[in-house]
Amino acid sequence: MTDLDRRTFLTHAAGGVAAMSLVPDLRAMSRFSLSQPLRVGVVGVGRQGRSIMGELSKIDDVSVVAVCDVDDRRLKSGLRRSSGAQGYASVSELLASGTVDAIAIATPTHTHRAVAIECLKAGVHVYLECPLAHTREDCIAISQAARSATGVIAAGLQGRSNPVYTLARGFFRSDSVRDLISMRAQNRRKTTWVTPSNDPVRKEALNWKLDPSRANGLAGEWGTHQFDVFHWYTGKYPTKVIGTGSVRFYEDGRTVHDTIACTLIFEDGATLGYDATIANSYGGKHEIFLGSNAAIKLGWSHGWLFKEADAPTQGWEVYANRQQFHNDEGITLIAGATKLAEQGKLKDGIGLPHPAVYYALDNWVAAIASKGIPACTIDEAARATIVGIAANEAIVSGKMVDIDLAGL
């Protein structure tokens, strides 16, 4: 849609209740038909894997029939949360069983390459959690393997399938926001990143995030997901990054920073400021786009638009739900707002009824049913992951790092 078309659309919508541009309608989610029930195996049943199991159980005609983990305790925990699923200690054993049509991979990041490529070669549908891999070389290897895979291959960067984010992207790409001024994001959560165990070998395996040889710190593990939101909205990728980090709170001998900040620089001069910490939770997780007409704030289950005082009125704002943030008033971006407004239930539509991972999995299953392309491809996930890897390198080295996306 051209800029003129977008302006015309918003102008014509101004007479409608809550503006016809407040879509999509959540009732349209999961409206697909599988030719037969989808049998899914979940590989890696730690916290994220168990979350995936729970969300898959909400989708019609989808059954988790197998769980796999090299850690016996986690495998048993996953089996307790399933209904009749079979347990496997290796992905090779699972694939050889012939009992699954699709596999969701939620193993530690540094193990993704081996697990993913084996599943891709087996011809099953694959959902691969993100970040995609631990190194640039692994990202490229997975991306190349995915190109020749016969199944539907989706990556778990969840912003691209999030209904609120899809809605807000329409506003971002219209005159509602207009010229992009700058971007920023944060992720703050009070958590140790430590998984306790009395067994030293098991403890080392479980705490891979605190090993710089197996993980890329907060920028890689968390930042990758948020950086991708900006790539998706702008259609651009940063070319350089500089950052800093330190251990501010957890003085337990760790070398992986518990607090970081970095600046990603785009070719046109735009910047994205990012900070993250596991030592404080104030402000939580969100992304912000500052434009000449408005700002958009995204909080994964919620989204808001903040208009500048000199921005032109487009009509639909009159009907929108509003929230006060200190001295700023935000217009709440509500999926399916038109119908809700007609029913006098705008406030009932604030937020999403499911976590973000549900919509990513739902989108993957819908792509399988339609033989289509999922919201997030492996190539896009590889780009975002490499940006996260570069950001971590800049933070650790204290030097500006060039971001190389060649070959993707």
Condensed to tens digits (0 to 9), the pLDDT of residues 274-295 reads: 999 999 999 999 999 999 999 9
96 within some domain: yes
Which residues neighbour 193 within 8 Å (Cβ) at sequence distance 6 or greater? 207, 209, 210, 250, 256, 258, 278
How many domains is the chain built from?
Answer: 2
Q: How many CB atoms neighbour CB 73 within 10 A? A: 12
Which of 106, 136, 158 is at the close of a domain?
Answer: 158
360 within some domain: no
Taking residues 371-383, report their average pLDDT.
97
pLDDT of residue 351: 73
pLDDT tens per residue across span 179-201: 999 999 999 999 999 999 999 99
307 within some domain: yes
Say if residue 171 is in the same domain as residue 205: yes
Percent pLDDT > 90 in the chain is 75
CA nearest neighbour of 63 among 85, 33, 45: 85
pLDDT of residue 145: 97
Which CATH number goes with the domain that contains 258?
A: 3.30.360.10
CA distances for 121 relative to 23, 68, 148, 376, 382, angstroms: 38, 18, 8, 20, 18
Q: Is the pLDDT of residue 51 over 80?
A: yes
Which of 119, 138, 158 is at the close of a domain?
Answer: 158
* H or E element in which residue 380 lies: helix 378-397
Say if residue 335 is in the same domain as residue 232: yes
Say if residue 211 is in the same domain as residue 224: yes
Say if residue 215 is in the same domain as residue 335: yes
Which residues neighbour 80 within 8 Å (Cβ) at sequence distance 6 or greater? none
pLDDT of residue 165: 94
Higher-confidence position of 343 and 32: 32
HEC per residue, 49-101:
HHHHHHHHCCCCCEEEEEEECCCHHHHHHHHHCCCCCEEECCHHHHHHHCCCC
Say if residue 71 is in the same domain as residue 206: no
Across 96-218, where does the E strand assignment appear?
Answer: 102-105, 125-129, 153-156, 180-188
- Residue indicated by tokens 């059954």: 63
* This prediction's pTM: 0.88
pLDDT tens per residue across span 235-248: 999 999 999 999 99
- Residue indicated by tokens 């289509």: 372
51 within some domain: yes
Say if residue 36 is in the same domain as residue 132: yes
pLDDT tens per residue across span 14-44: 322 222 233 344 544 555 678 889 999 999 9
Say if residue 11 is in the same domain as residue 114: no
CA nearest neighbour of 120 among 92, 153, 93: 153
Which residues neighbour 393 within 8 Å (Cβ) at sequence distance 6 or greater? 401
Which of 158, 178, 194 is at the close of a domain?
Answer: 158
Residue 384 sits at the vertex; the CA angle it makes with 382 and 389, to the nearest 5 degrees, is 90
372 within some domain: no
- Residue indicated by tokens 């509500």: 334
Q: Is the pLDDT of residue 346 over 80?
A: no
Which CATH number goes with the domain that contains 87?
A: 3.40.50.720
Residue 272 and residue 164 in contact, taking contact as beta carbons nearer than 8 Å:
no
Q: Is the pLDDT of residue 358 over 90?
A: yes
pLDDT of residue 136: 97
Confidence band, pLDDT 50/70/90 cuts, at residue 317: low
140 within some domain: yes
Say if residue 296 is in the same domain as residue 167: yes
Backbone angles phi, psi at 217, to 5 degrees: 65, -165
Confidence band, pLDDT 50/70/90 cuts, at residue 326: low
Confidence band, pLDDT 50/70/90 cuts, at residue 129: very high
Residue 156 and residue 130 in contact, taking contact as beta carbons nearer than 8 Å:
yes
How far is the C-alpha of 162 from the C-alpha of 329, rounded, in Å?
A: 23
- Please list the residues that pair with 105 across neighbouring strands: 43, 128
Residue 354 and residue 55 in contact, taking contact as beta carbons nearer than 8 Å:
yes
How far is the C-alpha of 69 from the C-alpha of 87, rounded, in Å?
A: 8
Which residues neighbour 199 within 8 Å (Cβ) at sequence distance 6 or greater? none
**DSSP symbols for 318-332:** GGS-EEEETTEEEEE
3-state helix, strand, coil in the chain (%, to 5): 40, 20, 40
184 within some domain: yes
Taking residues 91-113, report their average pLDDT.
97
Q: Is the pLDDT of residue 250 over 60?
A: yes
Q: How many CB atoms neighbour CB 318 within 10 A? A: 11
Instruction: Quote the domain boundaries for residue 342.
Output: 3-25+160-353+384-402
Backbone angles phi, psi at 233, to 5 degrees: -70, -45
362 within some domain: no
Percent pLDDT > 70 in the chain is 83
How far is the C-alpha of 266 from the C-alpha of 401, rounded, in Å?
A: 13
Higher-confidence position of 317 and 213: 213
Say if residue 48 is in the same domain as residue 60: yes
Mean pLDDT of the chain: 87
The sheet that has 153-156: what strands, in order across it?
Answer: 86-88, 62-68, 38-43, 102-105, 125-129, 153-156
Say if residue 138 is in the same domain as residue 175: no
Say if residue 188 is in the same domain as residue 286: yes
Confidence band, pLDDT 50/70/90 cuts, at residue 307: confident
How far is the C-alpha of 288 from the C-alpha of 291, rounded, in Å?
A: 10
Say if residue 97 is in the same domain as residue 234: no
Q: Is the pLDDT of residue 356 over 50?
A: yes
